[in-house]
Amino acid sequence: MKISREFIERIPKTDLHLHLDGSMRLKTLLELADEAGIELPGRTESELKQTVFKDKYADLGEYLKGFGYLTAVMQTPQALERVARELAEDNQAEGVRYIEVRFAPQLHQHPGMGIMDVFQAVNRGLESAKTAFNQRPEVCDGKEPAFDYGIIACAMRMFGTGFSDYFDRLLDVHCNSERKWVFSLASQELVRAAIHARDVLGIPVAGFDLAGQEKGYPAVDHAPAYALAHRHFLKKTVHAGEAFGPESIFQAITELHADRLGHALHLFDEDYIADASIKDRSRYVDNLVQYIGDRRITIEVCLTSNLQTHPELNRLIDHSFGRMMKNKLSVTICTDNRTVSATTVTQEMMRAVEAFDLDAKDLKDLVIHGFKRSFFTGTYVQKRRYVRRMIDYYETVNRRF
């Protein structure tokens, strides 16, 4: 069967690597900026695409600059709720039935909005979209699967003055402390907040993540936060191997107990290994790949995002996704940022199919990995039932085509 765009749109899908503050509708960005009196480098969607949200970026640093504008307009509960609701609706419209929305609550925390207010506002938006969708007759009748979501609390590898009111105050209080200790302290505070939001407020906080500038800011500095998450049964993912090499991935899975990996673009790049004590680089990479495969540690691949932030990647076929598939690793296709990367889950899957000549089994495996390796917040029995429902629906759509 030739895999068509229509088929991909119809099958149930997931997005497990989805940043809230990178996935706002441009129309909403313009409206919220106008309400808040924030000046943007463009007054129309077209102008914003030319000045901020480009097709190609010089590097990850330039790519991340756009988040400053997006985060700036998300400093009220109303704005957070709206952006979260619209994000869920956009996913529902293209057949995505499960999303895990990650964001850094501390970037929105200030005297007028505490961290629990942030969690609650985002959850209200997602829950309202879920409720509306699941009340549709075709869902109630069992003809189409229900929509669900989880929230991933995202810590920052590093931060400086001007990142947010919370980070400014933390740096001021601990001005005489070593920076990496302050970074670690912030991530530990976020874990505690995430656990409270989940256990006390009943918010479906599905996991914990670490994002931000990778090179120069090792994940191991945040090991205490991940140990705390581990002890409280909070599932874990880490941005690793996006702008650094295999050693970063090794830290994520050994020191931080990562259940999944964000990007892992440079998993196979021996030249990115910096540790002089690693003499046999090829063997190191082989052992790392074997470890990841044996433990079914799922990689959240974001094709378009990686192409945009790595100038050396001129062709999609050169992306390490192809080697991941050849090594039979557990992989799921994600968007990373629907706005900043101007993409959708359907588009990402279509690009993967065309560039890597995926067949029907490859595509089905990618979809099922997304559902099976999700951080679904229900019971294990409920998750098995939910995954089974998605597989059955996938096969129903497949028969139609």
Helix (H) or strand (E) holding 156: strand 148-156
Which residue is catalytic, options 81, 127, 242, 247? 242
Which DSSP string do the residues of 285-350 spell out, in sequence order?
HHHHHHHHHHTT-EEEE-HHHHHHH-TT--SGGGSTHHHHHHTT--EEE--B-TTTTT--HHHHHH
* Distance separating alpha carbons of residues 334 and 346, to the nearest angstrom: 10
The runs of H, that is alpha helices, within 40-178 are 45-51, 60-72, 77-93, 115-134, 137-140, 165-173
Q: Which residues of 259-288 are buried (b: 16+ CB within 10 A; e: fewer)?
A: bbbbbbbbbbebebbeeeeeeebeebbeeb
Q: Residues with Cβ < 8 Å from 3, sequence gap 6 or more? A: 353, 358, 359, 360, 363
Instruction: Compute and round to an integer the Cα radius of gyration of the chain.
Output: 20
Nearest Cα to Cα of residue 189 among 155, 164, 238, 221? 155
Nearest Cα to Cα of residue 110 among 189, 168, 182, 196? 168
Kindly report the number of other CB atoms within 10 A of residue 394's CB atom.
Answer: 20
72 in Cβ contact with 164 (< 8 Å): no
From residue 200, give the alpha-carbon distance in Å to each of 101, 192, 377: 20, 11, 14
Joined tokens for residue 120:
């609650």
Which DSSP string do the residues of 18-33 spell out, in sequence order?
EEGGG---HHHHHHHH
* Distance separating alpha carbons of residues 94 and 90, to the nearest angstrom: 7
263 in Cβ contact with 301 (< 8 Å): yes
CA 367 distance to own-chain centroid:
16
Q: How many residues does the chain have?
A: 401
Q: Is 86 a catalytic residue?
A: no
Joined tokens for residue 55:
């097709």
Task: List, by residue number, the catalytic residues.
Answer: 242
